[in-house]
Amino acid sequence: MSSPSQASLLLQKQLKDLCKNPVDGFSAGLVDENNLFEWSVTVIGPPDTLYEGGFFNAIMSFPQNYPNSPPQVRFTSDMWHPNVYTDGRVCISILHPPGDDPNGYELASERWSPVHTVESIVLSIISMLSSPNDESPANVEAAKEWREDKDLFRKKISRCVRKSQEML
């Protein structure tokens, strides 16, 4: 089990790497410079998706035993998506604890692994925005609209995108 100091060192390194080599599609920094375990992330809506042009803010909270356990990611911007709970929490496989899925939906290889980094997590979130998984949704209503009423789904996302631009 890694000690908090190992987690701190790893998070410090990942932050430094992201500052040196920024990745298209998002920016990240600390919520409070005295706490390496809470990051503020802005995800830019991917081109050619319904989220294009949006600037969606999220908080990434890391456990003391990172990277053995995954962080939690929660959008603080309004987000309408089948894989985002109504309270903003992101539900994607790589953020689920390592090992076998008790519900049998995911392979162990799809779940959290200590090789993941902030970059790989946020890139997975960007990918999630591009192609929602409505098989095991976190937001059932959004998944239902995604499948059955694309126009209403589009309208709600347009509202989220506009609202995110006004927050700049």
Residue 19 is a catalytic residue: no
- Packing angle, helices 150-166 and 140-148, rounded to 10: 120
**H/E element holding 13?**
helix 4-20
Q: Do residues 82 and 139 make contact, with C-beta atoms less than 8 angstroms apart?
A: yes
**DSSP letters along 40-68, please?**
EEEEEPPTTSTTTT-EEEEEEE--TTTTS
**H/E element holding 30?**
strand 26-30
Q: Which residue out of 28, 73, 91, 121 is catalytically annotated?
A: 91
Beta bridge partners of 79: none
Active site positions, annotated: 91
